[in-house]
Structure 1
Amino acid sequence: MILLTREKTMIHHQLETLLPRLPTHHPFYEKVSTRFKQEAAGASGEASLDYYLRFLNSNLPLLHGLRVCDTTFNFQIDTLILFPSFILLIEVKNYAGNLIFHPASGLLTREIEGVIERFSDPTVQVNLQKLQLAQFLSERGVTALPLHSLVVFANSKALLDVQGTCADVILHEKLLDRIAELEMKYKGKAREIRELVQIGKLLAASHKPKQADVMTYYGLSLEDLVLGVRCSSCRSSIMNRTHGRWICPQCACSNPHAHISALQDWKVLFGERITARQACSFLGLGKLRTARRLLLAMCRAEGDRNSRYYRLP
């Protein structure tokens, strides 16, 4: 029972929208591209667990990407599963290459293409999450269930060598085996599914997605972007508006509604408010009245005549 679905994070969505509109020669293009690849890889790694999770009891409450952030708590859990006798926290890593983990020292290294990198101890983060989750539940009167954490390396191109005893740092192929072992380990007083669902709903109600503003973070403005309506077919050209339709000069694709996608780009990068003048510039239109007409066809106008704006759906 999925109580919190896995969704693209706001920063992932913004980077995905920004990158095609940032000229390849822009000074920040490589930084934006690298960050986008990192976000995409992380999302891909988390999604790769779904194949294994579908073999679990479908009645078990499951939360993806839970983020609790207030004045007391600040933790995020990639995947959380409530079993009748314990709660499982899963931290997903999507590193490729030859990985060596030393549990005694917490040292994690990766060798890929002859380059060796050092990463922080992957168990520290998930153990801190476990401590905060325990306190969060305790303060809300939830009778303690054992909490157990796993670090799962999800990249199919990863080779993992654990130098010592550490059953909770594993490759994704071993996930179901490890879960079966934990179910045996925590055999005890089992909660009813309805109790687990109540706990899961309590956590889901406390979820706060992380906000992001990549335009401000990278110090970008409208002048830094490639403006206009990108062709929905070939994606390689900016369309021209002629006789009520958008025409691609590259592939001749014709679409009367292509501007809607471009305005969604605006919403992702700048927010849901837009003025007719901003829309005229962003869409690459020559006439302000055309921008007003297009906006009125899809959203309502707000404000008085001198400060009118439109709220994008």
Structure 2
Amino acid sequence: MIKKTRTKPLKLLKFEVLLERILPNHTQKQLIETNYRKYLAGFRGELTLDYFLSELPQDDYHIFHDLRIPRYDNNQLYFQLDAFILHPRFCIIIEVKNLIGNLYFDHQYDQIVRTRGGIDETFPDPVNQVEIQKKHLSNWLIKHKTPLIPIHTLVVITNPKSYIRISPKYGKNARKIIRGRTLSNKIKEIEKLEAEVILQKREIKKISSLLLKEHTPLNPNILKLFNIHRDEILTGAFCPNCTQVALIRIKRNWLCTSCSKTFINAHKKAILDYALLFSPVVKNKDLRTFLHMESQSSLKKLLYSMNLKPNGSRKAATYTIPLPK
């Protein structure tokens, strides 16, 4: 049973909006594109994992995708689980890697060495990463006074074109590194090891509710991350047909002066773009500037049509734009 579906992360959405709206010749654009491609590859790897998890029996397994939970010792810090599986007899934390190339798991230096096109690149050892997550999850479960349940960890390589080699010094931990297609069989092995029922239905329900309640999506300031200024961002509602051509508001429609097409709801994406890049809390004046609108009442009607109502006194009123979850 899927308890938390995987959705496109806020950080990925922010990358996409930033690449659409940053000035075309900006010096940071190539760096942003490089980081975006890496982040997108990771997300695609997680989507591939979801396919393999779909093979599990729906009644016995409770599956959570992409959890980010406050640590037991400091609620300003978080631990993140690419996938978490809860079963009455055990649970499993899964770390996903979607790397292509020759991968060498180097136990001595706690790293993966990826060789591709004659170039070596290093990544942190995901086995260590998932063991740290296990420690945080164990303490989190203790904090919430849940029954002690066996926690298993796996590192799943989802890219079928990767060539995997593992240092002999890994020992038993090497068994935790698997390919996506063997995930179902590995979980069946864990089933055979764990025979005792630890969690009753009410306890599974309690843990599930707590995880969903405490999940906090990563919401970075993408402009600050790349040192981008507001005046380096293209404004306006873009034409869906001509991509980055800003539309003008005429009566109740948006007109593209390039292709002469009109659109009714072009403002919706632009308003969400504003929330992703700048802030989900915004004043009427700031949105009018961004959308190239002059009429305060016209924008107010658009916001009301989106079920966005003002908060606070008339002059200082703000609107809160809901971000995707």
One-letter amino acid matched to 2:66:
G
Q: Distance in 1 between matches of 2:142 and 2:253?
A: 60
Q: Does 1:156 align with 2:160?
A: yes
Q: Distance in 2 between matches of 1:50 and 1:173?
A: 11
Contact 2:49–2:180 (8 Å) recurs in 1 = yes
Q: Distance in 1 between matches of 2:251 and 2:26?
A: 34
One-letter amino acid matched to 2:256:
C
One-letter amino acid matched to 1:118:
T
Q: Distance in 1 between matches of 2:150 and 2:249?
A: 62
Normalised by the size of structure 1, how large is the TM-score? Answer: 0.89
Match of 1:279 in 2: 287
Q: Does 1:61 align with 2:62?
A: yes
Match of 2:93 in 1: 89
- Secondary structure of 1:23's partner? coil
Of residues 218, 222, 238, the one that matches 2:226 is 218
RMSD of the TM alignment (CA)? 2.5
- Secondary structure of 2:47's partner? helix
Q: Distance in 1 between matches of 2:231 and 2:20?
A: 15
Change in 2 beyond 3 A, CA 1:301/1:196:
closer
After superposition, give the CA deviation of every residue in 1:111-170 in whole Å (9 maximum; x if it has no partner): 111111122221111001111211221232222111110011112332222243511111
One-letter amino acid matched to 1:96:
I
Change in 2 beyond 3 A, CA 1:144/1:190:
closer
Q: How far does residue 226 in structure 1 lie from its aligned partner after superposition? A: 0.9
- Secondary structure of 1:148's partner? strand
Percent sequence identity over aligned pairs: 29
Contact 1:62–1:200 (8 Å) recurs in 2 = no
Q: Does 1:27 align with 2:27?
A: yes
Match of 1:43 in 2: 43
Q: How far does residue 215 in structure 1 lie from its aligned partner after superposition? A: 2.3
Change in 2 beyond 3 A, CA 1:160/1:295:
same
Number of aligned residue pairs: 313
Q: How far does residue 245 in structure 1 lie from its aligned partner after superposition? A: 2.1
Of residues 266, 269, 276, the one that matches 1:261 is 269
Which moved further from structure 2: 123-132 or 205-214? 205-214
Change in 2 beyond 3 A, CA 1:56/1:128:
same
Match of 1:115 in 2: 119
Within a 5 Å distance, the mapping from 1:1-313 to structure 2 comes to: 1-59=1-59, 60-70=61-71, 72=73, 74-103=78-107, 106-164=110-168, 165=171, 166-189=174-197, 191-285=199-293, 290-291=298-299, 294-295=302-303, 297-298=305-306, 299-312=308-321
Change in 2 beyond 3 A, CA 1:247/1:136:
same
Which moved further from structure 2: 78-87 or 99-108? 99-108
Which moved further from structure 2: 208-217 or 167-176? 208-217
Normalised by the size of structure 2, how large is the TM-score? Answer: 0.86
- Secondary structure of 1:49's partner? helix
- Secondary structure of 1:63's partner? strand
Q: How far does residue 49 in structure 1 lie from its aligned partner after superposition? A: 0.9
Q: How far does residue 282 in structure 1 lie from its aligned partner after superposition? A: 1.0
One-letter amino acid matched to 1:66:
L
- Secondary structure of 1:32's partner? helix
Q: Distance in 1 between matches of 2:314 and 2:190?
A: 65
One-letter amino acid matched to 1:5:
T
- Secondary structure of 1:198's partner? helix
Change in 2 beyond 3 A, CA 1:260/1:107:
closer
Change in 2 beyond 3 A, CA 1:178/1:261:
same
Contact 2:147–2:198 (8 Å) recurs in 1 = no
After superposition, give the CA deviation of every residue in 1:158-200 in whole Å (9 maximum; x if it has no partner): 2222243511111212211211222222234464455433333
Contact 1:277–1:291 (8 Å) recurs in 2 = no
Which moved further from structure 2: 275-284 or 84-93? 275-284
Q: How far does residue 304 in structure 1 lie from its aligned partner after superposition? A: 4.2
Q: How far does residue 266 in structure 1 lie from its aligned partner after superposition? A: 1.0
